[in-house]
């Protein structure tokens, strides 16, 4: 980096450190006001930011972006708002039967927030809220293709938090982002919340700074035998999720494994629920050669079709796709490395593999797809057999396996699951992440545990230990 660029980063961190030192002394009420203001600033301007996002990136759907900008901050603040995040949190028992540990929460410091082009605004609202809840400062590194809407969002967020009495510089942004700027900010930060594909995950890990967030998705949907009467409900849910925001969500189902005996029925249901069916190899070949390109020694999504409509994709492969179709379902006969369409497709395209073997065979094929791409993220299983559900849970290398529902639930945005609402889905060691659960404010805290000795605890004998 040039001296001018390094000086710019120096200035960002100097302002962040000064502001955070003041902000860290805030009461819980003051922290909550600033955190709420960050999330509410995007919620209150959801339509404006959705419009700006779509105009700048050209990806996704306006209506979906409005919903995302509304529901993400809302659900996450509802979970976060009444919880303690500073000072003495309370007593813990540890390994004993009595309270003997005092848990004290303290800020991490300055967080690097790396936002993706596929979700620039809501990601900042949510991750900014989590950081501010804990007394941290955050410096956002937006994607270069979303810098204008990102800068505008941070401008409004800064005004909102300043109105609560918090220093505005606890939220800053790299105004003219680049890979070099992002790398330097990540290297200097105390923690990283990074959302992006494998390249971003590796860059965050290589920075030397603890990183949290999401890796590449490639969600698999495995449908068991005996689900025939529920196929229409299943296909409708998958399509609803897969077409949301132009198919750019990392939680969208990429490959569906369905029994061969149900193939005709599931194709009919997909068709009736709004999908164009490609059931021939010639069309599948054109589709895979359009959607994927060689990049840095691997097959990767063609950026020209990320978030595009199936009408635009259809035109590229010589098909006139009716306006009432919102997705493409391509029947494939291979999986894993042998079939590019079983990779993550950042557009509303689904691969369907009809299996004739056992349910366990289908799970093994889904596992092979995940090992190829997307291990650690999430998948679905549709089965009425509890043992089959558990088998999928034991076999699939994912941190979230959604049972009998579409993978939108993996994002934690729903109120009727036990998952924490989030914008960062930890992918565990499979995805080179330091967390495996849904990111929340507790991941952006340091904890001191005051340990008290308990009188009268019996020391076990060697026989009791080893016997």
Mean pLDDT of the chain: 94
Residue 413 pLDDT = 61
Residue burial 31-55, b: 16+ Cβ < 10 Å; e: rest: bbbbbbbbbbbbbbbbebbbebbbe
Global pTM value: 0.93
CATH 3.40.605.10 fits 3-215+431-451, yes or no: yes
Which run of H or of E encompasses 113? Answer: strand 110-114
Q: For residue 209, give Cα distances in angstroms to 164, 185, 318, 406.
A: 31, 10, 47, 34
Query: What pairs with residue 212 in β-bridges?
Result: 193
CA distance 389 to 224: 9
How many Å apart are CA 105 and CA 90, to the nearest integer? 10
The architecture (CATH level 2) of 219-419 comes to 3-Layer(aba) Sandwich (3.40)
* Residue 163: predicted pLDDT: 98
The confidence score (pLDDT) of residue 412 equals: 65
| Tens-digit pLDDT profile for residues 283-334 | 999 999 999 999 878 898 999 999 999 999 999 999 999 999 999 999 999 9
* Separation between Cα atoms, residue 290 and residue 464, nearest integer Å: 66
pLDDT confidence of residue 410: 65
Tokens of residue 129, six digits: 């809220």
Quick one: tokens of 86?
Answer: 């500073």
d(CA 23, CA 173): 18
Distance, CA of 16 to CA of 19 (rounded, Å) = 5
| Cα(224)–Cα(232) distance, integer angstroms | 14
The SS3 assignment for 328 reads strand
Active site residue 134: no
Whether the Cβ atoms of residue 326 and residue 240 lie closer than 8 Å to each other:
no
For residue 66, pLDDT beyond 70? yes
> At a CB cut-off of 8 Å and minimum separation 6, what does 418 contact?
none
The lowest-confidence range among 12-16, 173-177, 412-416 is: 412-416
What six digits make up the tokens of 41? Answer: 């600033």
245 to each of 54, 116, 250, 303, 348, how far by Cα in Å? Answer: 10, 14, 11, 16, 9
Chain center to CA of 416: 19
Instruction: pLDDT band for 166, please (50, 70, 90 cuts).
Output: very high
CA distance 217 to 250: 5
Gap between the Cα atoms of 221 and 396, Å rounded:
11
Strands 292-295 and 298-301 turn out to be antiparallel
Six-digit token string for 459: 């020391």
| Mean pLDDT, residues 155-173 taken together | 98
Give the whole-angstrom CA distance, residue 449 versus residue 433: 25
Q: Which residues contact 326 (CB under 8 A, 6 or more apart)?
A: 239, 243, 274, 275, 309, 310, 348
Distance, in Å, from the CA atom of 211 to the CA atom of 439, rounded to the nearest integer, reads: 11
**Which residue of the set 38, 134, 219, 250 is catalytic?**
250
Domain locations in the chain as residue ranges: 3-215+431-451, 219-419
Among positive and negative, which fits the CA dihedral 141, 144, 147, 149?
A: negative
Alpha helix ranges (H) inside 24-111: 28-44, 46-57, 62-80
Say how far apart CA 54 and CA 198 lie, in whole Å: 24
Whether pLDDT at 411 is above 70: no
Structure-block tokens of residue 32: 């909550």
Chain centre to alpha carbon of residue 57 = 19
């Amino acid at each position: 980096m040039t001296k001018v660029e390094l000086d710019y980063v120096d200035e960002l961190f100097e302002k962040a450190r000064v502001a955070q030192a003041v902000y860290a002394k805030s009461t819980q009420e003051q922290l909550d006001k600033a955190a709420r203001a960050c999330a509410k600033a995007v919620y209150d301007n959801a339509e404006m930011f959705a419009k700006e996002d779509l105009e700048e990136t050209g990806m996704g759907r306006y209506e979906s972006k409005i919903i995302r900008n509304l529901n993400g901050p809302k659900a996450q603040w509802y979970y976060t708002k009444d919880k303690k995040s500073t000072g003495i949190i309370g007593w813990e028992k540890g390994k004993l039967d009595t309270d003997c540990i005092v848990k004290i929460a303290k800020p991490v410091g300055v967080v690097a927030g790396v936002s993706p082009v596929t979700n620039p605004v809501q990601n900042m609202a949510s991750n900014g809220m989590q950081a501010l809840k804990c007394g941290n400062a955050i410096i956002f590194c937006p994607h270069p293709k979303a810098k204008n809407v990102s800068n505008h969002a941070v401008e409004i967020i800064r005004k909102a938090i300043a109105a609560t009495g918090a220093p505005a510089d606890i939220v800053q942004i790299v105004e003219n982002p680049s890979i070099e700027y992002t790398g330097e900010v990540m290297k200097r930060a105390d923690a990283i919340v990074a959302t992006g594909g494998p390249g971003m995950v590796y860059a965050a890990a290589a920075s030397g700074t603890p990183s949290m967030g999401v890796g590449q998705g490639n969600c698999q949907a495995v449908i068991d035998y005996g689900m025939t009467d529920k196929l229409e409900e299943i296909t409708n849910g998958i399509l609803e999720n897969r077409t949301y925001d132009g198919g750019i969500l990392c939680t969208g189902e990429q490959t569906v494994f369905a029994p061969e005996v149900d193939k005709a029925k599931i194709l009919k249901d997909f068709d009736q629920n709004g999908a164009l069916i490609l059931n021939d190899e010639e069309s599948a070949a054109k589709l895979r050669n359009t959607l994927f390109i060689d990049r840095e020694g691997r097959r990767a999504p063609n950026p020209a079709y990320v978030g595009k409509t199936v009408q635009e994709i259809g035109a590229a492969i010589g098909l006139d796709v009716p306006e009432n179709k919102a997705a493409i379902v391509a029947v494939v006969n291979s999986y894993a490395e042998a079939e590019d369409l079983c990779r993550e497709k950042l557009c509303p395209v689904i691969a369907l593999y009809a299996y004739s073997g056992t349910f366990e065979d289908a799970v093994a094929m889904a596992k092979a797809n995940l090992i190829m791409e997307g291990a650690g993220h999430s998948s679905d299983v549709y089965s009425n057999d509890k043992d089959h559900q558990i088998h999928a849970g034991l076999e699939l290398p994912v941190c979230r396996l959604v049972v009998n529902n579409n993978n939108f639930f993996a994002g934690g945005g729903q109120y009727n699951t036990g998952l924490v609402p989030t914008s960062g889905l930890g992918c565990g060691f499979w995805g080179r992440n330091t967390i495996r659960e849904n990111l929340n404010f507790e991941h952006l805290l340091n904890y001191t545990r005051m340990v008290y000795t308990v009188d009268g605890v019996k020391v076990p004998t060697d026989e009791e230990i080893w016997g």
